[in-house]
Amino acid sequence: MGLDVPMERTDDLLKKIGAIPLSEINTTQIPVLGTVKAGYNYLAQENIIDYIAIQINGTDKENYYALNIVGDSMTPLFDDGDIVIVHKQDYFEDGDNCIVLINGEEATVKKVYKGSNGIELKAVNPYYPPRIFTIEEIKTLPVQVIGVVEKSIRSFKKK
């Protein structure tokens, strides 16, 4: 049972609340590169599976990509099925939500903290223990930050 509101009236209401029509937002198509585990022990997949139109404020639009979240280690920040928009970079600030590649195969999203002896990958969900990698492990495994999450998209309707 829906409300039949005349289109003119709907447009007027949207203008009053400051809504910006999608047609007026400057968007960029960025690739969705598969999935990233919000957990551990998940093989990284870097295949373009889709494209998504998103508003990017940076000037280096070619360095953005999207990933689908799988798992619950970052719940409630990121839920299974969310899409994260990532800026490709290897530097980060303590507490940034980063995409981390471990051993060239396992990709995960975690809060990352620098320490004098290495880095700590920390989940938001307290069920998952933090993972600490020494400077030696960072070099030998290797452990690489490959991006920092800038935005997330959550769908409230299931398909």
Q: Which of 15, 61, 73, 155 is catalytic?
A: 73
H or E stretch covering 137:
helix 135-140
H or E stretch covering 69:
strand 64-70
Annotated catalytic, 73?
yes
H or E stretch covering 62:
none
Residue type, 27: T
Cβ atoms of residues 83 and 132 within 8 Å: no
Angle at 83 between CA 82 and CA 85, to 5 degrees: 145
Q: Which of 110, 111, 114, 155 is catalytic?
A: 110
- Determine the Cα–Cα distance for residues 85 and 81; give it in Å rounded to an integer: 13
Bridging pattern class, strands 28-37 and 131-134: unpaired
Annotated catalytic, 23?
no
- Determine the Cα–Cα distance for residues 27 and 37; give it in Å rounded to an integer: 27
- Residues labelled catalytic: 73, 110
